[in-house]
Amino acid sequence: MSSVDVHSKLPHIGTNIFTTMSGLAAQYNAVNLAQGFPDFDVPSYLIERVSHHMLTGKNQYAPMAGILSLREKLATKYASVYGIPFDPVEEITITCGATEACFSAITALIKAGDEVIIIEPAFDCYEPAIVLNGGKPVFVKTTYPDFKINWDEVEAAITSRTRLLILNSPHNPTGTLFTKEDVTALRELLQRHDILVLSDEVYEHMVFDGAHHYCLAADPIIREKTLTIGSFGKTYHATGWRLGFCAAPAHLMKEFRKVHQFNTFSAVTPIQHAVSDMLDDSDWHHNLSSFFQSKRNYFLNLIKHSGFKAVATQGTYFQLLSYAAVSDKKETDMAEWMVKEMKLAAIPVSVFYQDKTDQQILRFCFAKKDETLQQAAEILCKI
């Protein structure tokens, strides 16, 4: 029997590291600080609101761009938190998570042969979307160990084919934040070059030690060329609900929606209504940073006498730890050994680099119950 050849469009892409490590964590009954999701509950109010909206008939297709009340409340939040005017009708679309927003944005903007600059280390969803659209990812590394963007190198990577620059702050996996200097450098770059920006800000409400999250679109020059992407899943401890958004000037949003409507058409209706209700509570996002800062401090305090050394985290719910003092293993080997032998799952940072740069650091997610962090810390202290 002959079988039809499948010409893989992503031949070098396998199951991603998060799925692999979560699978290994389950198989070896390990404490899972690998994948970025909380092991504590979604706020009970949100559960109650989803149930309410399901029981009262909000179960059919939502409007393609998302329910208007959610877009309006998001626009109000952008105005009050960052001073950014977004028109809820023409400039905001609700998506199936930030992942769908990234995919729809890249698909809407990238044609075959276009180049897209990705700053490494980088979250894994950007590159496949570029490749699927016939684009070429161009990688520019941050400095080590402070993971700063080298703007001269970014500018040197721009060619006549460069269409898009992908940025992420607060940054996964390093926890670094855009600085005021980054914003100035980006503004000047955009004045010199005709390129667009995808700004992935899914951890916008998780910044520590009094640091400030610079939403790039707050700068009027940057705003005109930028698609801002966010995730309600991250903000409301509900990554499984797959709700995110994209906000952008109307001419960019028009193209974004052409893809979004044939990609997923719309996001889950009762969840949009519930999140819209939740947005009335502005304390939630104001308090999120201190909530996660306490988690980070709790975890770091428990491991302060271990051989693992923290590489500063100013945001997100990830902590990088260097294990150079306890082992000379490669990151992937160390992560595999830890999950199988020590029953603790973490993510090797080398997977966030195309060339698998190895710095002997692992990423740990501290969005976990205190007892989970305690179990993880006990293991780390034994290594």
Binding site for ligand PLP (CB under 6 A): 36, 97-99, 123, 168, 172, 200, 202, 231, 233, 239, 244
The smaller minimum CB distance to ligand PLP, of residues 97 and 270, is found at 97
Minimum CB separation of residue 243 from ligand PLP in Å reads 7
Residue 121 DSSP label: S
Q: How far is CA 141 from the centre of its chain?
A: 18
Q: Judged by CB, which is closer to ligand PLP: 88, or 233?
A: 233
Minimum distance of ligand PLP from residue 227's CB (angstroms): 13
Q: How far is the CB of 100 from ligand PLP (least distance, A)?
A: 7
Whether the CA torsion 15, 21, 27, 32 is positive or negative: it is: negative
Strands 347-348 and 92-95: unpaired
The residue among 35, 43, 4, 31 whose CA lies nearest residue 238 is: 43
Pairing outcome for strands 162-168 and 196-200:
parallel
C-beta of 98: minimal distance to ligand PLP in Å?
3
- In what side-by-side order are the strands of the sheet with 347-348? 309-311, 318-322, 361-365, 347-348
Of the two residues 164 and 379, which places its CB atom closer to ligand PLP in the complex?
164
Nearer to ligand PLP, 125 or 303 (CB): 125
Q: Token pair 């199988």 is at which residue?
A: 340
Q: What is the DSSP string of 132-145?
A: HTT-EEEEEEPPTT
Dmax over CA atoms of the chain, in Å, equals: 65
CB of 172 to ligand PLP, least distance (A): 4
- Which of 230/270 has CB closer to ligand PLP? 230
- Rounded least distance, CB 97 to ligand PLP, Å: 3
Of the two residues 198 and 335, which places its CB atom closer to ligand PLP in the complex? 198
